[in-house]
Amino acid sequence: GYSLLSSTVKIEELVTRARELQFPAIALTDENVLYGVMPFYEACQAHGIKPIIGMMATIMDEHDHTDQLVLLAKNNDGYRQLVHIATAIQMNDGKGISLLDFSHHTSELIGMTSGVYGRVEQHLLNGEIEQAEAIVQ
């Protein structure tokens, strides 16, 4: 994920390299915010690359257990959903968005789990298929 304050990646360098490699599109995922969207979008437009706007979001279940999900906007409505999610997270002191609130703002998003340390993956690694499916649903 990208973070305006902690990333070592410079947006212009990233987009320039993507153009050199002839990437048709590239994604940027801020961590619980969308601070990098405008400079990223403008750099992509300047280099003829399709920007994919995303965010690594912290989702909280009813027991305040958290998980990170990578979310990518499919379109402008998806971008608006990301804005809602980022706002909800910041209104909760950056701790995350409730699973219930999150579930109402996902129709135009692509979601990916955060890897082997996520709750879904841990259940799958332990052979707990039903528990993993319950989290995804």
Domain boundaries, the chain: 11-136
For the chain, 137 residues long, give each residue's pLDDT as a single digit of tens. 555 556 678 999 999 999 999 999 999 999 999 999 999 999 999 999 999 999 999 999 888 888 899 999 999 999 999 999 999 999 999 999 999 999 999 999 999 887 776 778 888 889 999 988 887 77
Q: Helix-strand-coil percent breakdown of the chain, rounded to 5?
A: 40, 25, 35
Indicate the pTM of the whole model.
Answer: 0.84
The beta strand positions in the chain, using DSSP E, are 25-31, 50-60, 66-73, 97-98, 109-113
Q: Which CATH number fits domain 11-136: 3.30.1540.20, 3.20.20.140, 3.40.50.20, 3.40.50.261?
A: 3.20.20.140
Report the DSSP pairing between strands 50-60 and 25-31.
parallel
